[in-house]
Amino acid sequence: MKIGVVGASGYAGGELLRILSTHSLFAIEAVSAHSNAGELITSLHPQLTSMSGKRFSQFSPDLFATCDLVFLALPRGESATAVAGITAIKPTMKFVDIGADFRLEDPSAWARYYGGDHAGHWVYGLPEIKGHREKIQKAQQIANPGCYATAVALALTPLAEFAHLNDVVVVAASGTSGAGRSAKSNLLASAIMGSMSSYKFGGVHQHTPEIEQCVSQATGKEVRISFTPMLAPMVRGILATITVKLDQFISTDELRSHFAKYYEGQVFVSILAEDEMPATHSVYGSNSAHLQVAVDAHTKRAIVSIAIDNLGKGAAGQAVQNANIMCGLDSATGLSAQGIGI
């Protein structure tokens, strides 16, 4: 199948090209990058030696006319324009949008957390959440979840059986690649090395309504989270801790068994052994999510720790997983469940 990537100069776009370059059934047909058009792909992604000599093209709908599926890796507010141009030429095109434009159903939530015009809503693609895979299989257009949203939704959804979800506390740390490639003073090495800080403090992070929407639809329960993100001195990875007050007391062993059953057969979700904790280096370069669960008997709270690679399961890896499902392939084609950490 012929694949196009719009907006391939960013970190997620580069990771997408890396995964696609070794995919057995997807062939890269067209690659565009607006501000970097004409530059060598390896000038921004030197790891992609298989693309040596190839350059980013200027975006044009005609460039993608021969593709079967197009990935969008654009800043928010830009995907809808690209989609309109491409579908005007090829109405049957399949899309996976790594950006935020089509994730939220509620226009008021978009206005509050993002601002600007609401582009609409596509099928939300988090394959391990029950009911999602069947919708992905039938879809032509998939909204890829955000990185934090992926981690929190995977950790939170199975808890619905034992807890109300209207008082959820989330604290999560992300690597600097989650902020994108644009130069920012707070992302300079001298600012982040040996230091951690919170940001978008006070419940204003844009993934908040996305998480609430996803988990509420999956569980049928009202979901309300208090989410505090942090910037960690690492390039990639997310480590999140989710705590929920239990309605009924259960043991840690019972909670572990419940999570294991919920994610049974899911190759990219692992419930770790009792003496192991999720670590970002363990999922580095993979499409995996590592989880650990516990019950705090003192406060009667369930605690879930989860680690993902924000560029893998949190972006490009999950996008390819969704594309595989849309195209009738094994969802793991071209992807690895094994991290490259040491």
Least confident of 33-42, 181-190, 318-327: 181-190
Q: Are residues 156 and 132 in the same domain?
A: no
Report the largest interatomic distance among the alpha carbons of the chain, rounded to a whole angstrom.
62
Q: Token digits for 227?
A: 């989410």
Containing domain of residue 195, as a range? 148-310
Give the pLDDT of residue 265.
96
Flag whether 295 is in a domain: yes
Question: What CATH code is carried by the domain that includes residue 58?
Answer: 3.40.50.720
Give the pLDDT of residue 137.
97
Least confident of 151-160, 174-183, 184-193, 281-290: 184-193
Task: Work out the percent of the chain whose per-residue pLDDT is above 90.
Answer: 87
Q: Are residues 153 and 98 in the same domain?
A: no
Quick check: 189 pLDDT over 90?
A: no
Question: What CATH code is carried by the domain that includes residue 238?
Answer: 3.30.360.10
Provide the pLDDT confidence category of residue 195 given band limits of 50, 70 and 90.
confident
CA distance 141 to 144: 10
**CA 174 to chain CA centroid, nearest Å:** 12
Flag whether 159 is in a domain: yes
Flag whether 338 is in a domain: no
Quick check: 183 pLDDT over 70?
A: no
Once rounded to an integer, what is the mean pLDDT over residues 216-227?
96
Q: Are residues 65 and 161 in the same domain?
A: no
Comparing 182 with 335, the larger pLDDT belongs to 335
Q: Are residues 280 and 265 in the same domain?
A: yes
Provide the edge-to-edge strand list for the sheet that holds 69-72: 27-32, 2-6, 69-72, 94-97, 141-143, 123-124
Q: Are residues 164 and 97 in the same domain?
A: no
Q: Are residues 136 and 165 in the same domain?
A: no
Quick check: 73 pLDDT over 90?
A: yes
**Residue (of 125, 157, 126, 162) closest to 142 by Cα position:** 125
* pTM > 0.85: yes
Q: Are residues 168 and 306 in the same domain?
A: yes
Query: Active-site residue 147, yes or no?
Result: yes
Q: Are residues 133 and 217 in the same domain?
A: no
Q: Are residues 250 and 224 in the same domain?
A: yes
Q: Which residues contact 159 (CB under 8 A, 6 or more apart)?
A: 165, 242, 244, 302, 304
Q: Which residues contact 307 (CB under 8 A, 6 or more apart)?
A: 151, 237, 238, 239, 240, 278, 279, 280, 282, 283, 289, 290
Give the pLDDT of residue 62.
97
Flag whether 334 is in a domain: no
Give the pLDDT of residue 342.
76
Quick check: 145 pLDDT over 70?
A: yes
Flag whether 271 is in a domain: yes
Flag whether 208 is in a domain: yes
- Residue indicated by tokens 């259960």: 250
Q: Are residues 187 and 50 in the same domain?
A: no
Provide the pLDDT confidence category of residue 177 given band limits of 50, 70 and 90.
confident
pLDDT tens digit sequence for 44-68? 999 999 999 999 999 999 999 999 9
- Point out the catalytic residue in the list 67, 147, 214, 327: 147
8-state DSSP, 217? H
Percentages helix, strand, coil for the chain, rounded to the nearest 5? 35, 20, 45
Flag whether 304 is in a domain: yes
8-state DSSP, 40? B
Flag whether 341 is in a domain: no
Once rounded to an integer, what is the mean pLDDT over residues 302-315?
98
Provide the pLDDT confidence category of residue 35 given band limits of 50, 70 and 90.
confident
pLDDT tens digit sequence for 98-143? 999 999 999 999 999 999 899 999 999 999 999 999 999 999 999 9
Following DSSP, what letter does each residue of 90-142 receive, concatenated? -TT-EEEE-SSTTT-S-HHHHHHHT-S------EE--TTSTTHHHHHHH-SEE
Q: Are residues 132 and 176 in the same domain?
A: no
Q: DSSP alpha helices (H): ranges in the chain?
A: 11-20, 41-44, 79-89, 107-113, 132-138, 147-156, 189-192, 207-219, 252-262, 280-283, 317-326
Domain count, the chain: 2
Once rounded to an integer, what is the mean pLDDT over residues 216-230?
96
Q: Are residues 48 and 71 in the same domain?
A: yes
Provide the pLDDT confidence category of residue 272 given band limits of 50, 70 and 90.
very high
